[in-house]
Amino acid sequence: MTKNIAVIRGDGIGPEIVEQALKVLNKVAEIYGHTFNYTDVDMGGCAIDKWGNPLPEEMLKKCVESDSVLLGAVGGEKWNSVPGDMRPEKGLLRLRAGMGVYSNNRPAKIWKQLADASPLKKEIVDKGIDFIIVRELIGGIYFGEHKTEEENGEKKAVDVLAYTESEIERIGRIGFETARKRNKKLCSVEKSNVLDSSRLWKAVMHRLAEEYPDVELSDMLVDNCAMQIVKNPAQFDVVVTENMFGDILSDEASMITGSIGMIPSSSLGATSCGLYEPIHGSAPDIAGMDIANPIGTILSAAMMLRYSFDMPEEADCIENAVSAVLDDGFRTADIMSDGCKKVGCSEMGKLIISKLSRK
């Protein structure tokens, strides 16, 4: 099969982690007889420097016209003082909206080899951590009106959190469908004791539940959910939630699995053209030092093969190779523990490639 992949290296550690993921994809292409063509796309701080815009229109067009997009990370201190709507992160938000990828899937699964790297007590980890956060990605407060104005002699800042029923319904369906393919437990997370948008969220989820009688729906307030994720993560199968809550809870969920550097994500909308990115940021403090963990990006590439290209065997091949390298005791600095062998970003990439083979 031939697939055209738009590649956004981005800022900070972005270029080095993407490099490793592309090497992995090239090896997979060689093993399975596929052709992956790559088109470079500038987005984020590097696009601001080059084009004065975090996502120029023609760059978005390249993404929309591709079969899928692989992204490293964007942002960094260097661009902290640029106006809000020209920040590197705004490029990412515009990319997600422009591609229409409303459903962001963030797995929180502990690798057995990394149980020691989790900050949770062993007895909690031993009960198992394996759930998915389905995050609404192109609505809510990140996409509402933002403004800062003068009022009564002081500044006032406003960010609007709005959801329509149809926006909630389409992400709700993804939540139910995802649960249906797993252990059939869906937890809808909101703040319905305070927010109107959450009360609507909850009502729509319960209306949808009637269409999915095989899925057990529960409700949880977001503050309680933050607590339950560290207290008893084994209770979760699929969590569905709005954009900002999902952003925050997915960072928390990733950390209990050992390292945010391990977690991939997929974002999909109405077509098979998806956006695949690790959930971590651009980590400018370690950029260019060859010590970043490329596994989140490599696993994102695996998700691309699985969910957008219908190549489950090839995706398994990558995931098994990652597991084999962890079995051999190799670790990047973020997941290092006693008795393991510390390796850098490019070495980790090489080790994973050495384990890729056709079953």
Site for Mg ion, rule CB under 5 A: 247
Residue 251: active-site member? yes
> How far is C-alpha 163 from the geometric centre of its chain's CA atoms?
21
How near is the Cβ of 120 to Mg ion at its closest, in Å? Answer: 20
Taking the least distance from each CB to ligand IPM, the nearer of 84 and 288 is 84
Which residue out of 142, 163, 212, 307 is catalytically annotated? Answer: 142
Interactions with ligand IPM, residue window 132-161 (CB under 6 A): none
Amino acid letter for position 7: V
Q: How far apart are the first and last CA of the chain?
A: 19
Amino acid letter for position 75: G
252 three-state secondary structure: helix
279 binds ligand IPM (CB under 6 A): yes
Q: What would the two tokens of residue 292 be?
A: 């970043």
Taking the least distance from each CB to ligand IPM, the nearer of 84 and 329 is 84
Q: x/- site string to ligand IPM, residues 82 to 121, per CB under 6 A?
A: -------x--xx----------------------------
Distances (CA, A) of 257 to 111, 216, 286: 7, 25, 21
User: What secondary structure does DSSP assign to 88-148, as a single string?
Assistant: HHHHHHHHHHHHT--EEEEEEE--GGGGGG-SS-HHHHTT--EEEEEEE-SSGGGTS-EEE
Interactions with ligand IPM, residue window 179-238 (CB under 6 A): none
How near is the Cβ of 207 to ligand IPM at its closest, in Å? Answer: 27
Taking the least distance from each CB to ligand IPM, the nearer of 113 and 300 is 300
Taking the least distance from each CB to ligand IPM, the nearer of 12 and 75 is 75
Distances (CA, A) of 48 to 8, 63, 74, 187, 238: 14, 18, 11, 39, 37
Which residue out of 11, 67, 247, 334 is catalytically annotated? Answer: 247
How near is the Cβ of 279 to Mg ion at its closest, in Å? Answer: 6
- Check: CB of residue 54 under 8 Å from CB of residue 91: yes
How near is the Cβ of 291 to ligand IPM at its closest, in Å? Answer: 21
Q: How far apart are CA 265 and CA 267, in angstroms?
A: 7
Q: x/- site string to ligand IPM, residues 238 to 257, per CB under 6 A?
A: ---------x----------
Taking the least distance from each CB to ligand IPM, the nearer of 141 and 352 is 141
**Residue tagged 């690790």 (tokens):** 278
Residue 126: active-site member? no
Taking the least distance from each CB to ligand IPM, the nearer of 20 and 265 is 265
Amino acid letter for position 155: K
Which residue out of 40, 49, 85, 223 is catalytically annotated? Answer: 223
Residue 142: active-site member? yes
92 binds, among Mg ion, ligand IPM, none (CB under 5 to 8 A by kind): ligand IPM
172 binds, among ligand IPM, Mg ion, none (CB under 5 to 8 A by kind): none
Among 247, 286, 309, 224, CA closest to 106: 247
353 binds, among Mg ion, ligand IPM, none (CB under 5 to 8 A by kind): none
How many CA atoms lie within 13 Å of 199's alpha carbon, on the beta-carbon side?
4
Name the residues that contact ligand IPM, by CB under 6 A: 75, 89, 92-93, 247, 279
Active-site positions read 142, 191, 223, 247, 251
